[in-house]
Structure 1
Amino acid sequence: MFLGLTAEILARIQFAFTVSFHFLFPAFSIGTAAYIAVLNALWLWKRDPAYLKLFEYWKTIFAITFGMGVVSGIVMSYQFGTNWAVFSDRAGAVIGPLMGYEVLTAFFLEAGFLGIALFGRKRVGDGLHMFAVAMVAIGTLISATWITSANSWMHTPAGFSVDANGSFVPEDWLAIIFNPSFPYRLTHTVLAAFLTTAFGVGAVGAWHLMKDRENRQARIMFSMAMWMAAIVTPIQIFVGDQHGLNTFEHQPAKIAAMEGHYETQNGAPLILFGIPDDEAEETHFAIEIPKLGSLLLTHSLDGEVHGLKEWAREDRPPAIIPFFTFRIMVGIGFLMLGIGLWSLWARWRGTLYTNQWLHRAALVMGPSGFVAVLAGWYTTEVGRQPYTVYNLMRTSESLSPVDAPAVGASLIAFIVVYFIVFGAGVFYLLRLMRRTPVMDEDHELDKGPHRAAGINPGPAQEEPIREGGTDAH
């Protein structure tokens, strides 16, 4: 024991801590990579210097975020050998190749083109530079695909057999990769990353609009972010609902914990708020909407929804964490929808760049995507307990033979180092975001590669900024 905690609990806390830090960076870099690719394409298409300014502005932020994501991911992966060696031994034949494919396809693609994307504009020409930027963006999506496939297999395992030693042996790689929850989880994760970036970009744009509503770059940032919020958030809510139905089919105990249901019911209510109590096996102070839970999960007012009492106590997930984190995620999703609809109203009335209350709301919502992805992560991972491979391998069986004091000491070291290193990185990112995008001498139009090719700036680039125009993007 260490501070009254077992080695298993400490190892779980350590993994949760490191993965929480790590997940924040890919959640932002996936969307940012796509964003800078769009900005670069718009610059090549329109030759509008505002898009070049924004590309240079956000590429630095992306590079730092990407670097911190790589470092935090490498550190996290070592724990499979230190704290979870039994899991690695038994499930390594499945998980190992999936992680290897991520390195061979996505990471090599990103690493190979990252330098060109960041520093090669004047060295390789517009076409190859655009190709490199696009490859980095595609690489981040491929990376998300393999990692999500590995994680999804742990929730809905398929395409394997179990040998005499209890190890998982691959039998059908298509079934392993495209396991039952993978399409829903991947779509939900990628859309969450796009929304995380959109609200981050929107907050930066709102910040600069509050200081100068005529700031051209701030207008473009804010407008693009609000389009993303208005279009993608309803899609994400729909995808989340479909993901929930898939979970209801394959992991009903998780749904019972998320919904706070202990009794199996026909016509189950939707519990808006309450306090689940696993010991008493009831949700205290429940505020309910009758029959809506069954309607959402079974599409029938009298559909059957299983409660946690259907499973032995040792086979149930702890309800209180997924119950609250699920509501945090859903609540943020509807707040995002509200911001998106508000922005459409403001755009229609011509006040998108002057509505100070909308800008303040967007600024407050800046971190919302990060909170939502973490809440969703805790919901799905705690809801999978007490298993690492659902219904097949328990978390307690996955632990390395380590002592609690050793795990506790490394956990303290992780906490101290992470807050110093990544805290400094986040502080620097925020400082970069506070800077107003400006065109320095190295990126002036008359010194860019298109000047060497004999392309002159058109009247649109030389005229003063006016209302409307490409700000609508």
Structure 2
Amino acid sequence: MDALLLSRLQFAVNISFHILFPAINIALAWFVVYFRYQAGRPGADRNGWLQAYRFWAKVFAVSFAVGVVSGVTMSFQFGTNWPGFMERAGNVAGPLLGYEVLTAFFLEAGFLGIMLFGRERVSQRVHMAASVIVAVGTSISAFWILALNSWMQTPQGHWVDADGVIHVADWFEIIFNPSFPYRFFHMVTASVLTASFLVIGLSAWQVLKKTANAATPRVLKTGLTVAAVAVAAQIWIGDAHGLNTKAHQPAKLAAIEAVWETEKPVPLTLIGWPNEQTKQTDYAVKIPYLGSLILTHSLDGEIKGLAEFEDHPPVAPVFFAFRIMVGMGLLMLAVSWFGWWRMRRCGWQPERLPRWLLKTFAAMTFAGWVATLAGWYVTEIGRQPFLVEGVLRTEDAVTRIVPAGDIGLTLVMYIVLYGVMLVSYVAVLKHMAEHPEYETVSGRHEIGKGER
């Protein structure tokens, strides 16, 4: 394999591992804020909420640490594997990544210590403010990163000189490019679902292992409620995002649906096997008219086929990844809605739920990861063969200096290291869920009293 393919694989491994943790942290930080607010609310049963806050603040801290480590690795790859990207697009990418560090990471890093260790050392108001600032920092971080990624998908507000270097013409147009609003809210909602199912799954595991405490029913109720609302919102946002993709990235949409020739109307292909050699989808199961209805909101809407485009992404990875994302989303919809209804019938007492449902919750703990990864593969592979859509080709940005053998060696090392880290992370969360802290609201441990 050459340096281009190996570099793409290496970056794919890094981004696949890294994105797992922002997908949790963006929303989990706000769950922690909610638990902290409830624990300090006058007249509240603080014991359960305090336990919820302490447990999930630690989960957030572990996730944050792993996310930071893997994020640093990606920044090095811009210089080693993809020097052409920063040489050509650095005038746009550099400042946006810098803004993310200055406005978001400094907030998170600066106030995380107070949030984790300052509850007994600062006033209740200051501690609550620190928790909110950390959560705001995670959201700002998502803003800048998705602004850059969206610009790479739907670039505008720039000009290119004779040497192929991209220059900024209008920062407002670059940041608020055509796909940014859809991509930002789609990712934030995906994080809400990822964090919600993590909350649901670990809470159900505590019930199954009989390590549930006063916090568990409240946490499970919160997770199910948020997930039930967010999954409905995500369907609506995803539909709007699809219309935006049709308008600005029609080749990606054609690959998603494996539309080989321009059609009108278009059936919806539920499943099949895209064959790029014969330009057909083998073993396809189709529903007439439904593709046009979903993709254009019209029964006889037209979709451009892949034959219309000189450059288009590989079809099979995009086709299958999209269906995994949608399938997991529908499963999350069914589980969250049925789970919320069943919990309500049980009086919000999880120990009264059937074991099969608790096991289903536990099995869905990392369902958000599956959907998020599949969605990112659609986004990133669907942009190929470009790094910046229509402006910078992937092959023009790859290293010409680092030998393919060195890239292959580090790729193997990354796979082994990240595999160990992922197993360790899951094992730590499992251990934490099975050995929760039981803390009474008294003395210096009570939020709002006895604090300095």
Q: Do the two structures share a fold, i.e. TM-score over 0.5?
A: yes
- For 2:9, the equivalent position in structure 1 comes to 13
**Structure 1 match to 2:393:** 394
Cα distance between partner residues in 2 of 1:327 and 1:419: 25
Q: Once the 2 structures are TM-superposed, how far is the Cα of residue 446 of structure 1 from its aligned partner?
A: 5.8
Q: 1:369 corresponds to which residue?
A: 368
Cα distance in 2 for residues equivalent to 1:139 and 1:422: 24
Instruction: Measure how far apart 1:229 and its partner are.
Output: 1.4
Question: Any idea what SS the aligned residue of 2:382 has?
Answer: helix
Report the alpha carbon displacement of residue 103 of structure 1 after superposing the two structures with TM.
Answer: 0.3
C-alpha distance in structure 2 between counterparts of 1:437 and 1:277, whole Å: 54
Cα deviation, residue 297, structure 1 = 1.2
Q: Which moved more, 1:345-354 or 1:159-168?
A: 345-354
Query: TM-score under structure 1 normalisation?
Result: 0.91
Aligned residue among 152, 167, 170 for 1:169? 167
Match in the other structure for 2:194 = 196
What is the CA–CA distance in structure 1 between the aligned matches of 2:199 and 2:220, rounded to whole Å?
7
- The code of the aligned residue for 1:419 comes to G
Change (3 A) 1:446 1:410: closer
Q: Give 1:365 shift.
A: 1.2
Kept in 1, the 8 Å contact 2:259–2:306? The answer is yes
* 1:342/1:358 contact within 8 Å kept: no
1:332 is aligned to: 328
Residues 195, 233 of structure 1: 8 Å contact kept = yes
Alpha-carbon distance in 2 for matches of 1:223, 1:213: 17
Contact 2:228 2:340 in 1 (8 A): yes
Deviations 1:174-220 (A, max 9, x none): 10001100000000001101110100110111112234497432211
Q: Deviations over 1:225-253 (max 9, x none)?
A: 11011111100111011111111110011
Q: Percentage identity across aligned positions?
A: 45
Deviations 1:25-83 (A, max 9, x none): 11111122111110000111125211111111111111111011001000111111001
Count the aligned residue pairs: 446
Contact map agreement 2:120 2:445 (CA 8 A) in 1: no
Give the partner amino acid of 1:95.
A
Change (3 A) 1:382 1:214: closer
> Which aligned pairs between 1:203-352 and structure 2 lie closer than 5 A?
203-212=201-210, 215-312=213-310, 315-350=311-346, 352=348
Tell me the SS of whatever aligns to 1:306.
coil
Report the CA distance shift for 1:98/1:285 in structure 2 as closer, same or farther (over 3 A).
same
Give the CA deviation at 1:149. 0.5
Question: Is this contact kept in 2: 1:54–1:437, CA < 8 A?
Answer: no
Alignment CA distance shift 1:47-1:350 (3 Å): closer
Q: Does 1:112 align with 2:98?
A: no
Distance in 2 of aligned mates of 1:16 and 1:321: 13
Give, in whole Å, the separation in 1 of the partners of 2:91 and 2:367: 37
Determine the C-alpha separation between the residues in 1 that align with 2:443 and 2:177.
50
- Which consecutive residues of structure 2, in runs of 5 or more, have no partner in the other structure? none
* Cα distance between partner residues in 2 of 1:151 and 1:274: 30
CA contact (8 A) 2:322 2:374 kept: yes
Q: Is the 8 Å Cα contact of residues 160 and 176 (structure 1) preserved in structure 2? A: yes
Counterpart CA distance in 2 for 1:344 and 1:202 is: 11
What is residue 465 of structure 1 aligned with on the other side? none
Q: Deviation digits for residues 443-463 of structure 1, max 9, x if unmatched?
A: 645643533379xxxxxxxxx
Task: Say what the alpha-carbon RMSD is for the aligned residues.
Answer: 1.7
Paired AA for residue 387 in structure 1? F
Q: Report the Cα distance in structure 2 between the residues aligned to 1:229 and 1:377, rounded to whole angstroms.
A: 20
In structure 1, the gaps of 5 or more residues are 455-473
Indicate yes or no: 2:61 matched with 1:63: yes
Q: TM-score, normalised by structure 2?
A: 0.95
Asked if 2 retains the 8 angstrom alpha-carbon contact of 1:209 and 1:219, the reply is no
> For 2:360 and 2:13, how far apart are their aligned partners in 1?
29
Match of 2:430 in 1: 430
Look up the SS of the partner of 1:262 in the other structure.
coil
What per-residue deviation string (whole Å, max 9, x for no partner) do you get for residues 279-308 of structure 1?
A: 111110110000111111111111111111
Which position in structure 1 is the counterpart of 2:381? 382
Q: Deviation digits for residues 108-154 of structure 1, max 9, x if unmatched?
A: 11111111000011111100000000000010000011001000000
